[in-house]
Amino acid sequence: MSAVHLETRPAAFEDPSEALPEPPKAWLPVALVTGLTVALILLTMVSALRGQLHITPTEVLGSILGRLGLDVGMAPSSTYAEAALWTVRFPRVALALVVGASLSVGGVLMQGVFGNPLAEPGVIGVSSGAAVGACAVIVFGFAALGPWTLVVAAFIGGLIATLLAYRTARRGGRTEVVTLVLTGVAINAVCGAIVALLVFLGDTASREEIIFWQLGSLNGARWSEVAIVAPIAIIGTVLALRLARQLDLLSLGERPAGHLGVDVERLRRTAIVLVAVLTSAAVAFGGIISFVGLVVPHLIRMVLGPGHRWLLLVSAVGGAVLLLAADLLARTLVAYAELPIGMLTALVGGPFFFWLIRRTSRGAGGWA
């Protein structure tokens, strides 16, 4: 009988020469960031143009310049067009940018902490915990904080689920990665059951709202919501960048990283807290949006390599681009209707995830 060997880190993270590679050529990250930024600007312009109310590119540009104090005579001729841009379309664009960036940065941190390209923020139960908080508010009609009650409940639910997973996985002052993953699976299952119970208890209107929230949407985005998520995304990304070198060393393995001066447990704890905050904020305002934190970091890693400093920066821009493109498709593919944005990201991310599993398994001697 052959012995069964369980590897806690994929082969791609075991080779020190691959874990700490030479930095990418100086022009490559700059070129990638430039390309993604251009795509971001173009998508922002198209998102501002598309909608039930027709607005020309000249009017969009004139409106933006007017807000900057440059009156060039190209402002929208209709007050309805001006209102549509600044109360409906631009807040939605801004929310898509910060939510996409938050999910992508959280994905990079999860993959770095777990040493596995298949990891993503939902692994530790953040999204499912947020879903429980939001669904409880919807079904029981809590309104202590007015329209912010659902957002706050989702945020707190995500943090509680993450804290529970982390505390359960700690043994003897250490956090076992495998135990943390298994705990996350259990928490996701329990939270899924609670959500199902809440759906059963709710009325027809509550069920429809729960289903729509779980599928993800940026509809109804407001500047007040952007003002909350944007600082969290910016501060979270800056703090994540401070962990970049330690994450590079952790890719060598826990023991070598410890010998090189990395407090592995503190690093893991800090990264998980950052993931919980970034993902909870994103899910609270956008609903459950799948696969952004998995697809974007892995694609960027394939181009730039595993060095986390550039990986974090470029992934943040890439996540913003992906979610803005998905949101544009969600509200324009079907006339006078809006598709759930989480459904679109899942349709892209699902096949990619399947391909990624096949690729990883083949590299480890799995499927042919």
The percentage of the chain sitting over the pLDDT mark of 70, rounded to a whole number, equals 88
Q: Residue 235's domain spans which residues?
A: 86-357
Question: What pLDDT, on a 0 to 100 scale, did the predictor assign at position 187?
Answer: 93
Helix, strand, or coil (residue 127): helix
**What angle do the packed helices 177-201 and 204-215 form, to 10 degrees?**
150
Is 348 in contact with 291 (CB distance < 8 Å)?
yes
Higher pLDDT, 172 or 202: 202
In eight-state DSSP terms, residue 86 is I
**Tens-digit pLDDT profile for residues 38-81:** 999 999 999 988 877 888 888 888 888 888 777 766 667 677 88
In a domain, 13, yes or no: no
In a domain, 35, yes or no: no
In a domain, 253, yes or no: yes
Higher pLDDT, 146 or 19: 146
Task: Judge whether residue 190 has pLDDT over 90.
Answer: yes
Vertex 115 angle, CA 110 and 120, to 5°: 30
Task: Judge whether residue 365 has pLDDT over 60.
Answer: no
Measured CA distances, 179 to 114, 162, 345 (Å): 11, 13, 28
* Token pair of 143 as six digits: 């309104």
* Cα end-to-end span (Å), the chain: 23
Q: What is the rounded CA–CA span in Å between residue 274 and residue 109?
A: 8
* Most confidently predicted of 27-41, 184-198, 323-337: 184-198
In a domain, 116, yes or no: yes
In a domain, 68, yes or no: no
**Tens-digit pLDDT profile for residues 250-301:** 888 888 888 888 888 899 889 999 999 999 999 988 988 988 998 899 889 8
Question: What pLDDT, on a 0 to 100 scale, did the predictor assign at position 136?
Answer: 92
**Tens-digit pLDDT profile for residues 303-345:** 888 889 999 999 999 999 999 999 999 988 887 788 889 888 8
Question: What pLDDT, on a 0 to 100 scale, did the predictor assign at position 176?
Answer: 75
Question: What pLDDT, on a 0 to 100 scale, did the predictor assign at position 339?
Answer: 87
* Token pair of 188 as six digits: 């996701």
pLDDT averaged over the chain?
Answer: 84
Mean pLDDT, range 75-95, rounded to an integer: 85
Is 125 in contact with 108 (CB distance < 8 Å)?
no
Q: Which residues pair with 174 in a beta bridge?
A: 171
In a domain, 365, yes or no: no
Vertex 348 angle, CA 346 and 353, to 5°: 80
Contacts with 344 (C-beta within 8 Å, 6 or more apart), sequence order? 326, 329, 330
Q: What is the rounded CA–CA span in Å between residue 139 and residue 204?
A: 10
Helix, strand, or coil (residue 171): strand
Number of domains making up the chain: 1
Is 72 in contact with 203 (CB distance < 8 Å)?
no
Q: What is the rounded CA–CA span in Å between residue 113 and residue 166?
A: 13
| DSSP secondary structure, 245-302, as one string | HHHHHHTT-HHHHHHTT--HHHHHHHHHHHHHHHHHHHHHHH----SHHHHHHHHHHH
In a domain, 255, yes or no: yes
Supply the CATH number for residue 197's domain.
1.10.3470.10
Q: Enter the pTM of the model.
A: 0.85
Question: What pLDDT, on a 0 to 100 scale, did the predictor assign at position 168?
Answer: 85
Question: What pLDDT, on a 0 to 100 scale, did the predictor assign at position 10?
Answer: 44
In a domain, 144, yes or no: yes
Question: What pLDDT, on a 0 to 100 scale, did the predictor assign at position 237?
Answer: 95
Question: What pLDDT, on a 0 to 100 scale, did the predictor assign at position 1?
Answer: 41
